[in-house]
Amino acid sequence: MFLVLIISLRPKVALWVTVGIATAYAGAFIFLPTNDVSLNFLSLFAFLLVIGVVVDDAIVVGENIHEEAENTGGGLDAAILGTQLVAKPVIYAVATTMIVFAPWLFLSGIDVEFTRHISIIVIAALSFSLIEALFILPAHLSHMKPREKLGRFGTFQKRIASSITRFAQVTYRRWLAAAVRRRGLTASIFLAGFIISVGISSSSWLKFSFMPEVESEQISVNVTLPEGTPYDRALEILAQLQQAEKELEAEVNAASDGESQLVENWYTRARADSVLALVRLAPAEMRDMSAKEAADRLRILIGEIPDAENLEVAIRSTKASQRLSLPSIIRIWICCGPRWMT
């Protein structure tokens, strides 16, 4: 960030603008523990989402103070005047963004934790960026004086700034004037683009899922037995399930020459009226067999259980929301030799 800013701004301005961005984020971090927000992929996404507005606040104020310092000789008056000239648009820009994200705090339902985390981080980061840009940054730049000599690097900066200004005054201004003269055509083009965007998003061309399903990593085997079944019979069925799992692993190892891993660990439980097995598969990139193929093959290897009322071999649906927290039953595995069993 600093290297990009220093191309067109003085090193002091670029440094304090960069520090201001870090300060705004540090202020937002203060609110994370008090609002029960952890540092995860959602919170990091929120920080990335708001970085554009945070950067713009500091750059707009810092560049305007820099301009006033070059024109008026610098000092406290230049910092105050430079801040006042852009204070209103900066406040409005930040406030409108905060208003957009505020309703997310009051949503209800299963997805409220996702929207709430994003809203808290965005609002907190923007609040601190506004405080930093309007109060702290001007204080740092109030000591800035006009440059007496440009030097080689100053000449390079002036050349970059001149090229940007020339583009804005010549190329962009010409296109802007043409768009204003043909207001009807300009509005029609944007309206057509909006209609096309709505049509694409509402059709089947563009696939969208807020919580997409991903390759499952769990298979559950549930055997329901009649009431009064002896516990020894449940243990026999449990041994049958374990044997089927071992045969499945052996088949996968033989097919891949031992290079592919299918099962990471597994959990079993036997009661007089039911037998349960949860198979935790290796990550999708480490195995050649999909979860569905593994479940189908495991069902064949288990075979028939004549006295069972119900035998179910199912893939446990894995969505992005479910991957954040594994079922509590998975957390009670007890290590016992090379296997994970009760």
Query: What pLDDT, on a 0 to 100 scale, did the predictor assign at position 148?
Result: 66
Query: What pLDDT, on a 0 to 100 scale, did the predictor assign at position 155?
Result: 81
Quote the DSSP letter at residue 132.
Answer: I
Helices (H), the chain: 2-5, 11-34, 41-72, 76-101, 112-131, 137-141, 151-166, 173-181, 183-202, 231-256, 291-302, 320-323
Query: What pLDDT, on a 0 to 100 scale, did the predictor assign at position 182?
Result: 94
Helices (H), 102-131: 112-131
What pTM does this model have? 0.56
Helix (H) or strand (E) holding 315, with range, is strand 310-315
> What is the C-alpha separation between 87 and 99, in angstroms, rounded?
18
Query: What pLDDT, on a 0 to 100 scale, did the predictor assign at position 69?
Result: 83
> What is the C-alpha separation between 52 and 15, in angstroms, rounded?
17
Side chain identity, residue 93? A
Stretches in the chain below the pLDDT threshold 50: 319-342
In sequence order, what DSSP letters do the residues of 253-308 get, joined into one string?
A: HHHHTT----EEEEEEEE-SSEEEEEEEEPPGGG-SS-HHHHHHHHHHHH---TT-
Q: What is the pLDDT of residues 130-182, one digit of tens each?
A: 999 999 989 988 887 776 676 777 788 778 878 888 898 899 999 999 999 99
Q: In terms of Cα–Cα distance, which of 269, 285, 268 is closest to 217?
A: 285
Q: Which residues contact 195 (CB under 8 A, 6 or more apart)?
A: none
- For 311, the 3-state DSSP assignment is strand
Q: Is the dihedral of CA 148, 153, 156, 162 positive or negative?
A: negative
Query: What pLDDT, on a 0 to 100 scale, did the predictor assign at position 293?
Result: 87
> What is the C-alpha separation between 207 and 87, in angstroms, rounded?
42
Q: Which domains does the chain have, with CATH numbers?
A: 2-148 (1.20.1640.10), 218-341 (3.30.70.1430)
> What is the C-alpha separation between 275 and 268, in angstroms, rounded?
8
- For 220, the 3-state DSSP assignment is strand
Cβ atoms of 39 and 120 within 8 Å: the answer is no
Beta-carbon count within 10 A of 342 CB = 10
Burial of 82 (0-12, 13-18, 19+ CB in 10 A): buried
> What is the C-alpha separation between 280 and 299, in angstroms, rounded?
16
Cβ atoms of 244 and 256 within 8 Å: the answer is no
Quote the DSSP letter at residue 75.
Answer: S
> What is the C-alpha separation between 49 and 29, in angstroms, rounded?
15
Q: Dmax over Cα atoms in the chain, in whole Å?
A: 97
| Contacts of range 145-149, beta carbons closer than 8 Å, 24 or more positions apart | 145/69, 145/73, 145/74, 145/75, 146/69, 146/70, 146/73, 146/74, 147/10, 147/70
Beta-carbon count within 10 A of 6 CB = 18
Query: What pLDDT, on a 0 to 100 scale, did the predictor assign at position 111?
Result: 66
> What is the C-alpha separation between 183 and 195, in angstroms, rounded?
18
Query: What pLDDT, on a 0 to 100 scale, did the predictor assign at position 123?
Result: 92
Instruction: Specify the pairing of strand 310-315 against strand 218-224.
Output: antiparallel
Query: What pLDDT, on a 0 to 100 scale, did the predictor assign at position 135?
Result: 92
Quote the DSSP letter at residue 35.
Answer: T
